[in-house]
């Protein structure tokens, strides 16, 4: 039986771990990098959800920038979605369109959002970020889905992003590499200007070049 037991998908494994942890904060476990030598100074709920300090930062960005429309790719359990929605609640307006590709994970996120009291700010979609159609001008794009598709994802939404808007690419540490390289590549193409925040998993803040004054 052991030999034929279906291997649990990483997202499902972390989802079960998160359920067992029941919201407990743990020290961040990603490995040290040259840019972030002390990851244990940060905190996390699980290895998929953004670092707790990054969640706080997302909320603060929302109250600071007052976005009308946020697009998030990769909802996972909806935790980052809910932190941004908290910011929108404080602002009194705004909408987050967040997509989750995996139907099992999507169903869990849907439950969590329904129970949160913040559902009015969130449109959760069970679709791929590379197929999702969003209407309107995007004030913040939070790119947090599958790492190899992040460059394509940013390019897909770029024409809709407000020149004064922000693009955030999570998982851009030098250890994880793929997303960092995607950000360098977008910058080399002249599409965006980036800053690389040295958080444990790495967070790129970028702005598109077109339309900048
Ligand atoms: C790192 S987790 C997102 C964490 C979440 N943003 C948070 O901080 O709470 C990445 C999620 O992206 C989903 N995903 C992967 N490829 C996707 C795609 N093309 N479109 C939408 N979601 C995708 C995965 O199923 C996974 O749940």
Show me where the domains of the chain are located: 51-208
Mean pLDDT of 88-105: 97
Which ligand 1 atom minimizes the distance to the CA of 153? 19
76 lines ligand 1 (CB under 6 A): yes
Closest-CA residue to 55 (of 36, 30, 72): 72
**Residue 77's pLDDT band (cuts 50, 70, 90):** very high
Residue 5 predicted with pLDDT over 80: no
Distance CA(174)–CA(203), nearest Å, equals 11
98 lines ligand 1 (CB under 6 A): no
Residue 115 predicted with pLDDT over 60: yes
57 lines ligand 1 (CB under 6 A): no
Closest-CA residue to 146 (of 73, 60, 88, 51): 73
Mean pLDDT of 115-142: 98
Three-state SS annotation for 8-67: CCHHHHHHHHHHHHCCCCEECCCCCCCCCCCHHHCEECCCCCCCHHHHHHHHHHHHHHCC
With tokens 């996390």, the residue in question is 44
Closest-CA residue to 81 (of 63, 64, 69, 96): 96
144 lines ligand 1 (CB under 6 A): yes
pLDDT of residue 7: 65
Which ligand 1 atom minimizes the distance to the CA of 80? 9
168 lines ligand 1 (CB under 6 A): no
Find the 145 Cα to ligand 1 centroid distance in Å: 4
Mean pLDDT of 124-129: 98
At the fourth CATH level, the homologous superfamily of domain 51-208 is Vaccinia Virus protein VP39 (3.40.50.150)
pLDDT of residue 6: 61
pLDDT of residue 124: 98
**Residue 213's pLDDT band (cuts 50, 70, 90):** confident
Find the 152 Cα to ligand 1 centroid distance in Å: 15
105 lines ligand 1 (CB under 6 A): yes
Residue 4 predicted with pLDDT over 70: no
For the chain, the first-to-last Cα distance in angstroms comes to 63
């Amino acid at each position: 039986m052991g030999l034929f037991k279906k291997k649990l998908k990483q997202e499902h494994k972390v989802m079960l771990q998160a359920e067992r942890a029941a919201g407990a904060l743990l020290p961040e476990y990603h490995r040290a990098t040259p840019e972030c030598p002390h990851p244990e100074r940060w905190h996390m709920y699980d290895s998929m959800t953004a670092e707790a300090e990054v969640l706080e930062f997302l909320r603060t960005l929302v109250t600071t920038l007052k976005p009308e429309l946020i697009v998030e790719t990769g909802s996972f359990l909806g935790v980052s979605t809910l932190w941004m929605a908290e910011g929108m609640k404080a602002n009194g307006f705004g909408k987050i369109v967040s997509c989750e590709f995996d139907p099992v994970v999507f169903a869990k996120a849907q439950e969590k959002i329904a129970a949160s009291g913040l559902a009015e700010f969130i449109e959760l979609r069970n679709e791929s970020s590379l197929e999702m159609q969003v209407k309107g001008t995007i004030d913040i794009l939070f790119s947090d889905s599958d790492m190899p598709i992040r460059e394509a994802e940013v390019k897909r939404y770029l024409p809709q992003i407000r020149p004064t808007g922000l693009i955030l690419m999570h998982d851009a540490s030098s250890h994880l590499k793929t997303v960092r390289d995607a950000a360098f590549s977008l910058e080399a193409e002249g599409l965006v200007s980036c800053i690389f925040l040295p958080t444990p998993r790495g967070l790129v803040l970028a702005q598109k070049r077109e339309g900048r004054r």
